[in-house]
């Protein structure tokens, strides 16, 4: 899944590079890159049946649990259903990452289906990631000021980490305002439209990122989806304002959506090591700045679903479908020597990764 939309300005702590290796100077390990490519050629094709079954099952479970959470009178039942709804909808929403990578000719109708089932209902349509996430994978952009999905979090002041997480809880409200208020207003005010497109239409964490306006068919598709999202957001506001949707139920649904955003932001916090200071990096350096949390650890299947537990491998082979990443990791792990850089991007779990980044900010602040 994408990083949360934010315009928060973070400030870097004073630091030196003496205490750590300059990651941008790591040379590419040709043997690792060649082995990874050679061993996974037969895994490159997405399997539509897996994509559709996973998406439909996740959305069905998520909305079913959401309906139960907002209607049950039992506090225990509401919490239990809310947790299930959060995890299932988080998984369904995470398919936006696949939508941004997959060749749409190999998965006919999937982008439309995802937008209908998840993107528009959750006010996170696919255009907020398509055309943005690919910049994060650009060889010369990753980890630089031109990367919409990168901040040197490990080199910033300690207070930025909790703020980075907490601000994501406001994402559902921000999205509701963006589509119910700013979208229709921006049709009437061209200057506002430019601001909405540049600053409020991307799932990015880099506050300096400004999105370019789409052109041609991409623009037409964007407009169609945005109209649908705007109408849906306005409908939500109207239904709550008129009492058709009880305010209590709305608050419960909003809390579940906030939990989805916070969970994703925690995952984002540990998706990379965030140690690059803005220099362009080799592919191997980008890989080592990214994180795999492979089995036997089980919990990453919940907080890093749809292949996101193999985030470093994804940066090595970004076109590989999510359902192939586990097999790809097993093959590459078995084929490469113990001293290969490939093995250095795997970590045991969430607590250790959060602790590593937190210690880095405290050490640099001193």
Per residue, the 3-state secondary structure of 55-106, as one string, reads: HHHHHHHHHHHHHHHHHCCCHHHHHHHHHHHHHHHHHHHHHHHHHHHCCHHH
What long-range pairs does 90-93 form, CB within 8 A, spacing at least 24? 90/1, 90/260, 90/263, 90/264, 90/305, 91/54, 91/58, 91/62, 91/305, 91/306, 92/55, 92/58, 92/59, 92/62, 92/117, 92/118, 93/1, 93/118, 93/122, 93/124, 93/260, 93/264
Output the pTM of the full model.
0.92
pLDDT of residue 24: 56
67 - beta bridge partners?
A: none
Q: Could you give the CA distance from residue 184 to residue 361 in angstroms, rounded to a whole number?
A: 42
The series of mean pLDDT values per 10 residues for the chain, 366 residues long, is 46 39 74 97 97 98 98 96 98 98 95 98 97 93 94 94 96 98 96 96 95 92 97 98 96 98 97 93 96 95 97 97 98 96 96 95 84
Closest CA to 353 of 258, 254, 273: 273
- C-alpha torsion sign, points 99, 313, 1, 211: negative
Q: Is 12 part of a structural domain of the chain?
A: no
pLDDT of residue 310: 98
* 306 Rama sector, left if φ>0, alpha if ψ -120 to 50, beta otherwise: left
Q: Could you give the CA distance from residue 144 to residue 166 in angstroms, rounded to a whole number?
A: 24
Average pLDDT, the chain: 92
Q: Is 2 part of a structural domain of the chain?
A: no
Give φ, ψ of 151 to 5 degrees. -140, 140
**Overall number of domains in the chain:** 1
Q: Is 18 part of a structural domain of the chain?
A: no
Q: Is 98 part of a structural domain of the chain?
A: yes
Q: Is 307 part of a structural domain of the chain?
A: yes
Q: Could you give the CA distance from residue 329 to residue 297 in angstroms, rounded to a whole number?
A: 14
pLDDT of residue 365: 74
Q: CA 129, 69, 183 angle in degrees (round to 5)?
A: 35
- The torsion defined by the Cα of 167, 173, 175 and 180, in degrees rounded to 10, comes to -160
Domain range holding 170? 23-365
Give φ, ψ of 296 to 5 degrees. -85, 0
* Residue 339, token pair as written in the block: 């001293």
Per-residue pLDDT tens digits for 150-182: 999 999 999 999 999 999 999 999 999 999 999
Question: In the Cβ-directed half-sphere of 252, how many Cα atoms lie within 13 Å?
Answer: 25
Q: Is 11 part of a structural domain of the chain?
A: no
Per-residue pLDDT tens digits for 330-353: 999 999 999 999 999 999 999 999
Closest CA to 231 of 355, 352, 121, 312: 121
User: Tokens 């916090």 label which residue?
Assistant: 269
Q: Is 5 part of a structural domain of the chain?
A: no
Q: Could you give the CA distance from residue 236 to residue 250 in angstroms, rounded to a whole number?
A: 9
DSSP SS3 for 290: strand
Per-residue pLDDT tens digits for 195-223: 999 999 999 999 999 999 999 999 999 99
Q: Is 8 part of a structural domain of the chain?
A: no
Q: Could you give the CA distance from residue 309 to residue 296 in angstroms, rounded to a whole number?
A: 12
Closest CA to 104 of 51, 178, 29: 51
């Amino acid at each position: 899944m994408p990083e949360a939309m934010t315009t928060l300005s973070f400030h870097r702590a004073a630091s030196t590079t003496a205490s750590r290796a300059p990651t941008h100077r790591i040379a590419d390990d040709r043997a690792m890159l060649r082995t990874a490519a050679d061993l996974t050629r037969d895994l490159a094709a997405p399997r539509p049946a897996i994509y559709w079954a996973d998406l439909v099952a996740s959305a069905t479970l998520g909305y079913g649990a959401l309906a139960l959470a907002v209607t049950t009178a039992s506090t225990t039942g509401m919490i239990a259903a809310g947790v299930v709804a959060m995890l299932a909808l988080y998984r369904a929403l995470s398919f936006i990452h696949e939508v941004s990578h997959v060749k749409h000719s190999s998965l006919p109708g999937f982008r439309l289906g995802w937008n209908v089932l998840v993107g528009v209902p959750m006010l996170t349509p696919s255009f907020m990631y398509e055309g943005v996430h690919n910049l994060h994978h650009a060889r010369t952009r990753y980890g630089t000021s031109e990367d919409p999905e990168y901040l040197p979090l490990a080199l910033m002041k300690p207070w930025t980490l909790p703020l980075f997480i907490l601000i994501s809880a406001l994402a559902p409200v921000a999205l509701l305002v963006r589509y119910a208020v700013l979208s229709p207003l921006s049709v009437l005010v061209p200057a506002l439209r430019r601001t909405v497109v540049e600053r409020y239409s991307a799932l990015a964490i880099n506050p300096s990122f400004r999105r370019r306006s789409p052109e041609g068919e991409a623009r037409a598709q964007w407009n169609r989806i945005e109209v649908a999202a705007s109408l849906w957001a306005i409908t939500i506001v109207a239904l709550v304002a008129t009492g058709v949707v009880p305010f209590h139920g709305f608050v419960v649904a909003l809390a579940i959506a906030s939990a989805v955003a916070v969970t994703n932001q925690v995952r984002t916090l540990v998706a990379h090591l965030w140690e690059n200071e803005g220099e362009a990096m080799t592919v191997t350096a980008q890989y080592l700045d990214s994180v795999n949390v492979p089995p036997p650890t089980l919990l990453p299947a919940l907080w890093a679903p749809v292949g996101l537990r193999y985030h470093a491998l994804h940066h090595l082979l970004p076109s590989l479908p999510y359902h192939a990443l586990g097999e790809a990791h097993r093959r590459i792990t078995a084929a490469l020597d113990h001293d290969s850089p490939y093995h250095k991007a795997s970590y045991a779990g969430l607590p250790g990764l959060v602790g590593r980044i937190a210690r880095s900010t405290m050490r640099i602040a001193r």
